[in-house]
């Protein structure tokens, strides 16, 4: 938690130079412009303009059209971002920001929240990627216009909507482990609008070689063998259809994304499964509008109406993962509406933003026998959410100083029907048919941005933020899971006090060079973290026993020389400690948090080709809360190489053929990201992309 004295000193440090700016500023006021933090000044990112004081990053995915890459690959290269994978391509992957847990970060699709209330965390492999235009990373919390609170930060996946000219692109890709992917994309314009459609199919066996230690990590290495990964295959099909048009003063977007995945679940390396599988399908739909000059000139109105529908089938006919009724079928439905007015009072140097959101989420699970017939239907779970956010953006000294106070009010109501087969429920709550859990929150935040130098090709400034955030307990923590987890409806939400401060530099010394850099210090004090404790010989019960203190420094540097060099460097140093009530955990490092993590890219390019070298470093860490030696994971380094060649290009029509080849994990490192789940060694991929 940041002390009051530190906060006052911190604000004085930022506000001190304002007298200098006030005296040096010209009497002539410049035109009001949207000054965006941590993005290129030419970016038209409206979401960033709503959050001018936050540390944020925009990842343009234009180059991903011609390389075999994935969402975990792209995110793992960013400072402050840690991706954990249960294997190779297509495996279960989670994301954490600035040392927090995966379920403490929020993920959005075009501003629509997609975190589910069952466990809270998101599997990155279940999210869209090939149809995205860009990824937005918000490290200083949840920006205005987005619902929900986030201890770690937020990620927003932005679909391709705006079309400049008609394009049809066919991508064919393939590589190691019988991996293949094909996408067909078409986008076009019509009177006052445009549309985008894409079809995708991807398949891979992921039968890579790995070191099987037979479960004897230190005591016996003589039985170690090199085995082949089994039952890790996946098949993925996707379809996207987006429509955008303008009606009078209103921009309207219809967004639809469908994903269907069939995959094997291989289990730990020393006891692989043979028949466990999963079939997952998800449909996300949204209707968004933006109306300028709504009712009067200075008012803009945005709305979102959305629905997320997911089905998940688990097959375990030989009870390799579980006992009793091994199979399961789950269904999640999520509906929501959000309205966000913005009032521009530029003559008073202010922009007022508000957001009102309501959402309902329903979760149903069926326990299935080995033949997949229904054994039992669990009580339906439901969560209702209402939130209201108000933000005031104050601009002073000719847009040199930004002050952004914000407050967010949220109300959650969880409902859970009685489990008629539970003896505990029948004895303790004989008259209750439905259990309710109601919780209300008020979360304030404050941000400040100071532009020290502002010229045509140079901007240097400082950013700082303070906030209070929380994570609501998940359905699994509140209501449990039959046979393994006992629910606890008395759980308190996890809460945090967050702060960050740093500097950024955007400059174009001349027409050939472009430089973007930033460095920031961040600090998080997290209270009431939920830990699953043994409740009996066979069950666990969640309790609020953990506390954490996370602090660190992160930096990003991007340099482009238009004559043929591109350089990118990201680095994070963090110290993440557990301050639990449990003596065995107090003072220990949080699991899977490396002190040092970094990545770099050096690429050489010309009009027809590009050659690049990628480097990634992940420092040593522990894979368990008690920091046992058996859970120690040494530091690892990965090298990737890629080359792209434009075999054909017609400048008049825009038609082009791009061929590519890349090698991943060049030094063939055989490591594990999580206990028992190895990552693939050296692999090769070829790509071909034809645009017409």
Q: What is the pTM of this model?
A: 0.88
Is residue 138 within 8 A of residue 149, CB to CB? The reply is no
User: 63 pLDDT exceeds 70?
Assistant: yes
As a whole number, mean pLDDT of residues 325-350 equals: 91
Residue 255's pLDDT is what?
A: 94
pLDDT at position 318: 85
pLDDT at 540 (0 to 100): 83
**Model pLDDT, residue 136:** 93
Q: Is 269 helix (H, G, I), strand (E, B) or coil?
A: coil
Task: Please state the three-class secondary structure of 425-482 as a single string.
Answer: HHHHCCCCCEEEEEEEEEEEEEEEEEEEEEECCEEEEEEEEEEEEEECCCHHHHHEEC
pLDDT confidence band for 143 (50 / 70 / 90): confident
- Ramachandran region, residue 398 (left: φ > 0; alpha: ψ -120 to 50; beta: rest): left
Residue with tokens 């017609």: 650
Predicted confidence at residue 21, as pLDDT, reads 35
What was the pLDDT predicted at 428? Answer: 52
Confidence category of residue 629, pLDDT binned at 50, 70, 90: confident
- Dump strand ranges (E) for 316-380: 327-345, 350-368, 374-377
Query: What number is the average pLDDT over the span 591-612?
Result: 93
Q: Which of 133, 398, 365 is nearest to 257 (CA)?
A: 133
| Burial (CB count <10 Å: 0-12, 13-18, 19+), residue 8 | exposed
- Residue 502, pLDDT score: 96
What CA–CA distance (Å, rounded) separates 558 from 653? 32
Q: Which pLDDT band holds residue 483 (cuts at 50, 70, 90)? A: low
Of residues 518, 519, 613, the one with CA closest to residue 566: 613
pLDDT at position 319 over 60: yes
Question: Residue 433's pLDDT band (boundaries 50, 70, 90)?
Answer: low
- Judge contact between 481 and 529, C-beta under 8 A: no
CB atoms near residue 44 (< 10 Å): 11
CA distances for 57 relative to 122, 504, 633, angstroms:
20, 12, 29
The CA distances from residue 321 to 35, 274, 648, in Å, are 53, 11, 51
Tens digits of residue pLDDT in 214-269: 766 666 667 778 889 999 999 999 999 999 999 988 999 999 999 999 999 998 87
- As a whole number of Å, the end-to-end CA separation of the chain is 56
Please name each of the domains of the chain with its CATH number: 56-423+430-691 (2.40.170.20)
Q: Residue 16 — pLDDT band, cuts 50, 70, 90?
A: very low
Going from the C-alpha of 528 to that of each of 495, 580, 590, the distances in angstroms are 7, 9, 15
Which of 89-93, 231-235, 299-303, 671-675 is predicted with the least confidence, judged by mean pLDDT? 671-675
Q: What is the pLDDT of residue 2?
A: 43
**What pLDDT was estimated at residue 403?**
96
Give Cβ neighbours of residue 307 (< 8 Å, ≥ 6 apart): 283, 284, 285, 286, 333, 334, 335, 336
Quote the pLDDT of residue 219. Answer: 63
Which is more confident, 317 or 479?
A: 317
Q: Would you say residue 34 has pLDDT above 70?
A: no
What is the average pLDDT value for the chain, to the nearest integer? 85
Examine the pLDDT at 458 and tell me if it is beyond 70.
yes
List the one residue out of 125, 187, 124 whose CA is nearest residue 155: 124
Task: Give the least confident one: 260-269, 429-438, 447-456, 584-593.
Answer: 429-438
* Residue 33: predicted pLDDT: 27
Q: Per-residue pLDDT averaged across 80-87, rounded?
A: 90
pLDDT band at 684 (very low <50, low <70, confident <90, very high): very high
Confidence of residue 37 (pLDDT cuts 50, 70, 90): very low
Collapsed DSSP state (helix, strand, coil) of residue 64:
helix
**Model pLDDT for residues 353-401, shown as the tens digit of each residue:** 999 999 999 988 888 888 888 888 888 889 999 999 999 999 999 999 9
């Amino acid at each position: 938690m940041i002390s009051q004295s530190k906060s006052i000193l911190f604000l004085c440090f930022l506000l001190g130079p304002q007298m200098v700016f006030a005296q040096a500023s010209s009497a002539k006021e410049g035109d009001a412009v949207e000054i965006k933090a941590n993005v290129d000044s030419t970016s038209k990112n409206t979401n960033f303009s709503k959050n001018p004081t936050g540390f944020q990053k925009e990842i343009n995915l234009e180059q991903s059209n011609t390389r075999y890459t994935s969402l975990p690959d792209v995110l793992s290269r960013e400072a402050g971002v840690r991706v954990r994978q249960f294997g190779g391509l297509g495996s279960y992957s989670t994301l954490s920001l600035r040392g927090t847990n995966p379920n403490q970060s929020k993920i959005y699709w075009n501003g629509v929240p997609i975190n589910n209330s069952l466990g809270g965390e998101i599997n990155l492999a279940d999210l869209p990627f090939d149809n995205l235009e860009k990824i937005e990373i918000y490290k200083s919390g949840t920006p205005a216009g987005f619902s929900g609170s986030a201890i770690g930060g937020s990620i927003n996946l932005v679909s391709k909507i705006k079309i400049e000219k008609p394009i049809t692109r066919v991508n064919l890709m393939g590589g190691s482990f019988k991996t293949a992917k094909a996408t067909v994309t078409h986008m076009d314009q019509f009177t006052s609008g445009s549309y985008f459609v894409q079809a995708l199919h991807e398949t891979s066996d992921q039968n890579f070689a790995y070191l099987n230690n037979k479960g004897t990590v230190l005591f016996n290495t003589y039985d170690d063998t090199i085995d082949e990964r089994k039952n890790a295959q996946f098949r993925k099909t996707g379809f996207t259809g987006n429509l955008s048009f303008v009606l009078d003063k209103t921009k309207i977007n219809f967004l639809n994304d469908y994903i269907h995945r069939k995959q094997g679940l291989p289990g730990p390396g020393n006891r692989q499964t043979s028949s466990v599988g999963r079939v997952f399908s998800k449909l996300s739909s949204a209707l968004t509008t933006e109306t300028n000059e709504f009712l009067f000139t200075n008012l803009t109105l945005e709305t979102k109406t959305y629905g997320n529908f997911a089905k998940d089938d688990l097959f375990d006919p030989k009870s390799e993962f579980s006992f009793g009724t091994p199979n399961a079928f789950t269904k999640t439905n999520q509906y929501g509406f959000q309205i966000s007015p913005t009032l521009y009072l530029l003559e008073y140097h202010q922009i007022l933003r508000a957001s009102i959101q309501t959402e309902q989420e329903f979760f149903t699970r069926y326990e299935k026998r080995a033949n997949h017939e229904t054994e039992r239907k669990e009580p339906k779970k439901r969560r209702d959410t209402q939130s209201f956010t108000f933000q005031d953006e104050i601009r002073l000294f000719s847009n040199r100083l930004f002050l952004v106070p914000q407050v967010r009010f949220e109300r959650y109501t969880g409902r859970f029907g009685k489990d008629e087969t539970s003896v505990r429920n029948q004895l303790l709550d004989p008259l209750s048919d439905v259990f309710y859990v109601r919780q209300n929150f008020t979360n304030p935040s404050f941000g400040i941005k100071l532009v020290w130098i502002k010229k045509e090709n140079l901007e240097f400034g400082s950013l700082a933020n303070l906030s209070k955030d929380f994570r609501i307990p998940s359905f699994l923590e509140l209501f449990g899971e039959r046979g393994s987890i006992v629910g606890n409806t008395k759980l308190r939400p996890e809460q945090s006090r967050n702060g960050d401060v740093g500097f950024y530099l955007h400059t174009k010394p001349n027409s050939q060079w472009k430089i973007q850099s930033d460095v920031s210090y961040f600090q998080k004090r997290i209270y009431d973290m939920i830990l699953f404790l043994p409740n009996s010989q066979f069950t666990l019960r969640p309790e609020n026993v953990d506390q954490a203190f996370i602090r660190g420094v992160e930096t990003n540097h991007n340099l482009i020389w238009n004559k043929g060099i591109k350089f990118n460097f990201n680095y994070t140093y963090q110290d993440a400690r557990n301050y639990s009530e449990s003596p065995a955990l107090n003072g220990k490092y949080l699991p899977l948090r490396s002190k040092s993590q970094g990545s770099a890219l050096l690429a050489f390019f010309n009009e027809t080709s590009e050659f690049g070298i990628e480097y990634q470093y992940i420092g040593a860490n522990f894979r368990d809360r008690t920091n046992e030696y058996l859970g120690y994971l040494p530091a690892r380094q990965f090298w990737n190489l890629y080359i792209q060649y434009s075999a054909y290009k017609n400048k008049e029509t825009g038609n082009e053929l791009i061929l590519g080849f890349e090698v991943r994990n060049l030094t063939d490192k055989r490591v594990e990201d999580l206990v028992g789940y190895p990552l693939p060694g050296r692999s090769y991929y070829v790509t071909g992309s034809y645009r017409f």
